[in-house]
Amino acid sequence: MKTKKLINDGAAAVDEMLAGILAAHPRHLRVVEGSPRSIVANEGPRPGKVGLVIGGGSGHEPTFLGFVGKGLADAAAIGNVFASPPPDPIIECAKAVDGGAGVLFMYGNYAGDVMNFDMAAEMLAMDDIEARTVLTTDDVASAPIEQRERRRGVAGNVFIFKAAGAACDLMYSLDEVERVARWANDRTYTMGVALSPCSLPQTLKPNFQLGDDEMEIGMGIHGEPGVARGPLKPADQVTSELLDRILGEMKAERGDRVAVLVNSLGSTPLMELYIMMRKVKMMLDAAGIEIHLSLVGNYCTSLEMAGASITLMHLDDELQRLIDHPCDCVMFRSGEASR
Amino acid sequence: MKTKKLINDGAAAVDEMLAGILAAHPRHLRVVEGSPRSIVANEGPRPGKVGLVIGGGSGHEPTFLGFVGKGLADAAAIGNVFASPPPDPIIECAKAVDGGAGVLFMYGNYAGDVMNFDMAAEMLAMDDIEARTVLTTDDVASAPIEQRERRRGVAGNVFIFKAAGAACDLMYSLDEVERVARWANDRTYTMGVALSPCSLPQTLKPNFQLGDDEMEIGMGIHGEPGVARGPLKPADQVTSELLDRILGEMKAERGDRVAVLVNSLGSTPLMELYIMMRKVKMMLDAAGIEIHLSLVGNYCTSLEMAGASITLMHLDDELQRLIDHPCDCVMFRSGEASR
């Protein structure tokens, strides 16, 4: 059985999506001339400001394009579904947003993205544009804590990009933006659970199989294997399993503050996310941890995959200020769904 | 086969969701003491302002609670999944937001809601609170245009509530708010398409059946029968069928302006919505109709139903001003995803 999708031609889906995004949001976003997979915030880049370029495969919307806008990322380089963009659109993004203060690349830690962004950075160096990189590695399930640098980047991107984008908007130097970005990543933890697969527009076939009563804890946003497969449990128990693992690593003390994201992987509705949020709040209350800000909804998806993830960012005063800094993106405004 | 959901107990799902919403958004929302299904905007109601009370069944999130906040609705009365709230929580909402200038009830035209809101209005009259009603009837497929008053209210609610909520925030009189609300409803048209069913938390069984390669044009947000069932067509063709029907009724002239909403019924991802948005833009360009504002995403859902709807609001200067008026709701901010 093929998955039903409202598309025209699987091979054209990403470009037609981008055309729709530009049609819907012309005052916020523009495409770099001659580089249709390089999308720039109209009001983002400016002289003397570090340019923040994010990007990666499509299919995770609103990640990445939804986070391009004043106060957050300046540009996104867009790949095919679940595939890294090649170096060219990354280079064009960097050139378009370079304000003379350097460029920071931020994206999830996946081999294809690392290869292409690194290649772009090397080529930009020849044009005297300094491009540094901070990889996001918030997915707790994807490698042990001792090998944090091997972990994948997932929904925590939202908070990590947000902190770095605010630092750019506040005219921090490239050194300082890089420091903030690394710190934001170090303090951000995500655990997810998958209930059913998605299918790519080109194949319309499920990208993995799960039994009719099964869930998989820790599955990645491209269907990468997780850490435990078993029968679906009640939401409170699933939430506990995810959050216990995060809290075990985070080492928060009573009185500490966090930003919370309860994210749908695609088709899991708000009703279920808020049921999980209820349990998150109960557990954080019990631990004496204060919720400074909550986001609940579709922030980092895997097309129509069913499932959810929980992210905590362990705030300090600086991260809190940066997370609260206003931003104006087409699919995200600071304060939206928050507090 | 049962649908997998991240819930605890189907019968408790709505109350646990509300607990999660209040846990996530304590600065925006509060519950009326002693009336757990009556949720009020912290910064909405004030003396001399008409109070706007919306509501209906759960399962359509972010409709209705997502649209409670300063500049939009003052309160929402929350029913069980796909079921009207009884009169009591409606009455408590009205009392909580009454600023002495009267209250307007706005909700989709469904028999159960009409019965319960009307009963609430009668009982409020005994307490000298004037509660008037404007039903939303934007679902083009649900009855012929000659019987517009029989049509159901669906995703167009977002624009219709928005216009009325802005009028309240601008301190219009009850007569004027009612006039604006009726005018907003008269100018708003929605057509949807369903690709797959959802299932209720209590039953975990699909609420209707559709063939593996079928779609149904015009199906309602509770699975009410549509106007045409047939093989799934390419997105451009589906979009044309929906929009042609809207444009046939709307009678716009070249140079007219509209607000556009491309809405997911639940599990249809942003990629598909933006592919539809691309075609909407092409068709409106061809008709010489200007898009003033676009919303694309999950605004009025049917749990995890797959499918989408297209809404146009035919703007005039007044409606445009009201739609642009700022609002601050937990799941919607004016300007978000727009323009």
Domain residue ranges of chain B, discontinuous segments joined by +: 10-186, 188-333
Nearest to B274 among A24, A213, A306 (CB): A24
In the prediction, which pLDDT does B334 show?
Answer: 65
Chain A residue at shortest CA distance from B301: A269
Does A83 have pLDDT greater than 90? yes
Q: Which residue has the tokens 């800000």?
A: A293
Q: How large is the average pLDDT for residues B240-252? A: 97
The number of helix segments (H) and strand segments (E) in chain A equals: 8, 15
Give the Cα separation of B153 and B300 in Å (integer).
Answer: 10
Residue A336, pLDDT score: 40
Contact A88, A65 (CB under 8 A): no
Phi, psi of B292 (to 5 degrees): -85, -35
Other beta carbons within 10 angstroms of residue A207's beta carbon come to 15
Distance of alpha carbon A132 from alpha carbon A260, whole angstroms: 28
Average pLDDT score over chain B:
96
Q: How confident is the model at residue A337 (pLDDT cuts 50, 70, 90)?
A: very low
Give CA–CA dist A226/A122, Å, rounded. Answer: 34
Whether chain B has a CB inside 8 Å of the CB on A78: the answer is: no
A335 has pLDDT over 60: no
Contact B6 A193 (CB under 8 A): yes
* DSSP letter string, B49-94: SPEEEEEEEESSTTTTGGGBEETSBSEEEEEEETSPPPHHHHHHHH
Q: Distance (Å, rounded) from C-alpha B142 to C-alpha A46?
A: 50
Select the residue of A61, A193, A337 nearest B331 (Cβ to Cβ).
Answer: A337
B68 touches A at CB < 8 Å: no
Beta carbons within 8 Å of B162's beta carbon, 6+ residues apart = B67, B72, B322, B323, B325, B327, B334
Query: E strands along A46-119, which residues?
Result: 51-58, 69-70, 75-81, 103-108
- Distant-in-sequence, close-in-space partners of A299: CB < 8 Å, separation ≥ 6: A62, A63, A155, A158, A261, A263, A264, A332
- Are A274 and B20 inside 8 Å of each other by CB? yes
- Chain B CB contacts of A15 under 8 Å are none
Measured between beta carbons, the chain A residues lying within 8 angstroms of B308 are 6
Q: Are A244 and A312 in contact (CB under 8 A)?
A: no
Q: Which residues, at least 6 apart from B178, have a Cβ–Cβ distance to it below 8 Å?
A: B104, B132, B134
Question: Would you list the DSSP string of B259-307?
Answer: EEEEEESBS--HHHHHHHHHHHHHHHHHHT-EEEEEEEE-SS--TTBEE
How many angstroms away from the CA of A283 is the closest CA of chain B?
12
Q: In chain B, whose CA is at the least distance from the CA of A63? A: B270
CA–CA gap between residue A138 and residue A295 (Å, rounded): 17
- Lowest average pLDDT, out of A160-169, A183-192, A325-334, B204-213, goes to A325-334
Q: For the residues B291-317, what does the mean pLDDT come to?
A: 97
DSSP code, position A289: -
A325, A262 contact by CB (below 8 A): no
pLDDT of residue B1: 73
- Note the pLDDT of residue A331: 86
Compute the average pLDDT of residues A237-242.
98
Please indicate if any CB of chain A lies within 8 Å of the CB of B111: no
pLDDT value of residue B338:
41
Give me the pLDDT at residue B336, please.
Answer: 40
Q: How far apart are CA B23 and CA B110, in angstroms?
A: 30
Q: Which residues of A touch B27 (CB under 8 A)?
A: 339
C-alpha span between B62 and B329 (Å, rounded): 10
Q: What is the pLDDT of residues B170-182, one digit of tens each?
A: 999 999 999 999 9
Q: Which token pair is A52? A: 């923040």
Tell me if chain A has a CB within 8 Å of the CB of B62: yes
- Chain A contact probe: residue of B1, B2, B4, B264 with most A CBs at under 10 A: B4
With bands split at pLDDT 50, 70 and 90, how would you rate the model's confidence at A44? confident
Q: Per the structure block, which two tokens stand in for A173?
A: 């130097």
CATH topology of domain A10-186: Rossmann fold (3.40.50)
Q: What is the pLDDT of residue A334?
A: 65
Q: What is the ipTM of this complex?
A: 0.97
Closest CB from B24, B195, B196 relative to A296? B24
- Cβ-nearest to B6 among A21, A62, A272: A272
Among A52, A133, A53, A51, smallest CA distance to A98 is for A51
The residues of B annotated as belonging to the active site are 60, 222
B202 in contact with A at a CB cutoff of 8 Å? no
B232 to chain A: which residues are within 8 Å by CB?
4
Average pLDDT over residues B318-322: 97
Which segments of chain B are extended strands (E)? 29-32, 35-41, 51-58, 69-70, 75-81, 103-108, 131-136, 188-196, 214-217, 228-231, 257-264, 290-297, 306-314, 328-329, 332-333
Name the residue among A295, A284, A278, A287 with its Cα closest to residue A339: A295
**Summary mean pLDDT of chain A:** 96
Whose tokens are 């007044």? That residue is: B318
Give B58's contacts in chain A (Cβ within 8 Å): 271
Q: Is the pLDDT assigned to residue A338 strictly greater than 60? A: no
Top-confidence residue, A212 or B339: A212
Say how many CB pairs under 8 Å bridge A and B: 232
Do residues A266 and A305 lie in contact, with contact meaning Cβ atoms separated by under 8 Å?
Answer: yes
SS3 of B314, please? strand
Assign 3-state DSSP to chain B and report helix, strand, coil percentages, each to 5.
35, 25, 35
Could you count the other beta carbons within 10 Å of the beta carbon of residue A294?
Answer: 24
Q: Which CATH architecture has domain A188-333?
A: 2-Layer Sandwich (3.30)
Q: CB contact, 8 Å: B1 with chain A?
A: yes
A266 part of contact set with chain B, CB < 8 Å: yes
- Residues of A with Cβ-Cβ distance to B291 under 8 angstroms: 23-24
Chain A residues whose beta carbon lies within 8 Å of the beta carbon of residue B338: 25, 330
> A330 pLDDT exceeds 90?
no
Closest residue in chain A to residue B339, using alpha carbons only:
A25
More confident residue, A333 or A99: A99
* Per-residue pLDDT at B94 exceeds 50: yes
Nearest CB to A270: which of B27, B62, B281?
A: B62
Q: Choose the closest CB to A272 out of B5, B28, B260.
A: B5
From the list A327, A271, B42, the residue with the least C-alpha distance to A336 is A327
Encode A227-263: b = buried (16+ Cβ within 10 Å), e = exposed: eeeeebbebbebbbbbbebbbeebebeeebbbbbbbb
Rounded to 5°, angle at Cα A304 from A302 and A308: 60
What pLDDT score was predicted for residue B256?
Answer: 98
pLDDT given for residue B330 in this prediction: 87
How close does chain B come to A339, measured CA to CA in Å? 5
What does the pLDDT look like over B27-78, one tens digit per residue? 999 999 999 999 999 998 999 999 999 999 999 999 999 999 999 999 999 9
Overall average pLDDT of the B242-251 stretch: 97
Q: CB-based contact (8 Å) between B333 and chain A?
A: yes
- CA distance, residue B130 to nearest chain A CA (Å): 32
Contact B25 A337 (CB under 8 A): yes
Put simply, the answer to whether B338 touches A25 (Cβ < 8 Å) is yes
**Mean pLDDT, range A271-293, rounded to an integer:** 98
Question: Is residue A82 within 8 Å of A303, Cβ to Cβ?
Answer: no
For residue B325, which of B259, B253, B263 has the smallest C-alpha distance?
B259
Nearest Cα residue in chain B from A278? B20
Choose among A17, A294, A301: nearest Cβ to B274.
A17
* CB of B258 less than 8 A from some CB of A: no
**Residues of chain B found within 8 Å of residue A330, distances taken between Cβ atoms:** 336-338
- For tokens 């909580």, name the residue: B96
What is the per-residue DSSP string for A230-263?
A: EE---HHHHHHHHHHHHHHHH---TT-EEEEEEE
| Candidate from A304-308, B54-58, B223-227, B239-243 with smallest mean pLDDT | B223-227
Yes or no, beta carbons of A269 and B328 under 8 Å apart: no
If one counts every other C-beta atom within 10 angstroms of the C-beta of residue A26, the result is 14
> A255: Cβ–Cβ under 8 A, 6 or more apart, which residues?
A288, A289, A290
Residue A150, classified by CB atoms within 10 Å of its CB into exposed (0-12), middle (13-18) or buried (19+), is exposed
- Name the nearest CA neighbour of A90 among A32, A15, A25: A32
What is the pLDDT, as a whole number, of residue B337? Answer: 37
Q: Quick one: which H or E segment has residue A136? A: strand A131-136
- Best mutation site among A202, A229, A274 for testing chain B: the one with the most B CBs within 10 Å? A274
Query: In this complex, is the C-beta atom of A249 within 8 Å of any C-beta atom belonging to chain B?
Result: no
Cβ-nearest to B196 among A4, A262, A338: A4
Which candidate, A86, A91, A57, places its Cα nearest to that of A75? A91
